[in-house]
Amino acid sequence: MTTRTETARNDLAEAIGRVAKGDRKALEFVYRATSAKLFGICLRISGDRGEAEDALQDVYVNLWNAAGRFDASRASPISWLAIFARNRTIDRLRRRGRLNATAPIEAAAEVADAAPLADQALLAGEENARIHTCIETLDDKQRGVIRTAFFGGVTYAELAARQEVPLGTVKSWVRRGLARLKQCLEA
């Protein structure tokens, strides 16, 4: 029996595959299914509604060109897109020298979305449970920096400053933690 979450995940993965082949209707489907969630990520990181809108546009323009790189066996579609949105927003802020700008999390509540919340669907899925179980196997430092960087939108440089350690140390913690996560998820 296929759950609603699995069906939504499969539909989104299939649509990204069609985007890779140049299907504009598939891009429209991906946009409708994910734009509210991704806009919230962009807004949280940028702290500016206009900047978040521009970053979101970049996400979908770049998705059009990069959809062929998506591999459903390695990541869920919403996770892949969320990381894509995070990275695009941070890249835009770096180019403008505004990387430290942040908005209160409450600002994301103003984003309207009539569809079920993507993060609720993600949390309901089996894959999400596995990821969180695997994250708990990491040591405290690895777990902390990975959660803060990937779920909190904090850059490695900011993490290094907070932890009062060299940037290379934070990068090593993240790299080793992600390698352990991969091993755990593949087991």
pLDDT in tens, 164-181: 999 999 899 989 988 898
Would you place residue 57 in the very low, low, confident or very high pLDDT band (cuts 50, 70, 90)?
Answer: very high
Same fold, 1-116 and 125-187: no
Asked whether residue 128 carries a pLDDT value surpassing 80, the answer given is: no
Angle at 150 between CA 149 and CA 154, to 5 degrees: 30
| Total residues belonging to the chain | 187
18-54 CB burial, b ≥16 within 10 A, e <16: bbbeeeeebbebbbebbbbbbbbbbbbbbbbeebbeb
pLDDT in tens, 71-96: 877 878 888 898 889 988 888 888 87
Domain definitions of the chain by residue range:
1-116, 125-187
Structure tokens at 48: 């500016």
Q: For all residues of the chain together, what is the average pLDDT?
A: 81
CATH topology of domain 125-187: Arc Repressor Mutant, subunit A (1.10.10)
- Residue 7, CA distances (Å) to 3, 13, 21, 120 in order: 6, 10, 21, 14
The pLDDT of residue 103 is: 56
The pLDDT of residue 119 is: 46
First to last CA, the chain: 23
The pLDDT of residue 122 is: 47
What CATH class is the domain 1-116? Answer: mainly alpha
Stated pTM of the model: 0.53
**Which of 52-66, 72-86, 97-111, 116-130 is most confident?**
52-66
Compute the distance between CA of residue 96 and CA of residue 107 in angstroms, rounded to an integer: 22
